[in-house]
Amino acid sequence: MTHASASPGLPTSPPQNGPPIVSIRDLQKVFPVPGGQTVALQDANLSIQRGEFISLIGPSGCGKTTLLRLMADLEQPTAGELLIAGRTADQARRERQYGYVFQAPALMEWRTVLKNVLLPLDVMNVPGDRLGRAREMLKLVGLEKFERNYPWQLSGGMQQRVSIARALAFDPPLLFMDEPFGALDEITREHLNLELLRLWRETGKTVIFVTHSIPEAVFLSTRVVVMTARPGRIEGIVEIDLPHPRSDDTREDPRFFTHATEIRELLKKGHA
């Protein structure tokens, strides 16, 4: 399937019905530390439908990155159940169900931009025209003119866009993003937020997005999962009923502020 075919019919991209693509029950993660243990995540329950855009928000130490890494099978849970598309996280990883975008672009400095996007296709031995596919992805993030450049020749925002193209290259149904725009300036960040929403609408992926910015979470998401620290847990889930497609005007919508306040109250509640 080509990613572009999913776009025209879904102008507002409502969550689809059917079995959840991510289902989490009583999930727990405990790290051993010298002289004891840290509860990074406790009693997490969450169900995510196909096509949703979910943000995980909270202060540092709330376990949002841990939760994402558990879903990606980069960490093993100590208790609870976690199913990705009906399979265990390990199976889902083996079947390449998701693409992962890190906080840093994590591009390989010895590969050109194009070869970086090509990397997952080569590793997975994807059949067909890999080069064409990689070029298509670069075009999607607007960097087709830079395919021969090395990563260091690009700005931070451009590098992060390459990293997104790389995550989308093998067309996984899920996209995990761990504070991908955290290190960027506000202007670039808002610009990339719009780009990301466009990609989400066009490709119909399910996105799970870690952030610590309230406006970013409200602007992007269909639902925001608010987490609090010590121990890391889910404090509440906020439905965002802002219309799609969203634009800069969305930030002026009164509901935008209502939702932001709602999230802030939840975060404060966990802090007390």
Residues that bind another protein (CB under 8 A): 31-32, 38, 40, 60-66, 72-76, 93-94, 96, 98-100, 102, 104, 106, 108-112, 119-120, 122-124, 142-143, 146, 150, 152-155, 157-158, 188, 191, 232
* Dist CA 162 CA 147 (whole Å): 10
CB of 261 to another protein, least distance (A): 26
- Of the pair 10, 74, the CB lying nearest another protein is at 74
CB of 94 to another protein, least distance (A): 5
Strand, helix or coil at 249? helix
Element (H, E) at 194: helix 186-203
- Of the pair 51, 157, the CB lying nearest another protein is at 157
CB atoms within 10 A of CB 124: 12
CB of 43 to another protein, least distance (A): 16
- Of the pair 112, 250, the CB lying nearest another protein is at 112
How many helices (H) and strands (E) are present in the chain, helices listed first? 8, 10
CB of 106 to another protein, least distance (A): 4
Is the C-alpha dihedral spanning 16, 20, 21, 24 positive or negative?
positive
> For residue 228, what are the contacts with CB-CB under 8 A and spacing of at least 6?
58, 59, 62, 235, 266, 267, 269, 270, 271
Q: Do the strands 79-84 and 87-88 form a parallel or antiparallel pair, or are they unpaired?
A: antiparallel
Contact (CB, 8 A) for 59 and 50: no
* Dist CA 192 CA 46 (whole Å): 27
- Of the pair 114, 260, the CB lying nearest another protein is at 114
> For the CA atoms of the chain, what is the radius of gyration?
18
**CA 24 to chain centroid:** 17
Torsion of CA 172, 151, 209, 267, to 10 degrees: 170
Angle at 181 between CA 150 and CA 121, to 5 degrees: 50
CB of 70 to another protein, least distance (A): 11
CB of 110 to another protein, least distance (A): 5
- Of the pair 71, 260, the CB lying nearest another protein is at 71
- Of the pair 15, 231, the CB lying nearest another protein is at 231
- Of the pair 79, 124, the CB lying nearest another protein is at 124
CB of 185 to another protein, least distance (A): 11
CB of 132 to another protein, least distance (A): 20
- Of the pair 155, 261, the CB lying nearest another protein is at 155
Local structure of residue 251 (DSSP, 8 states): G
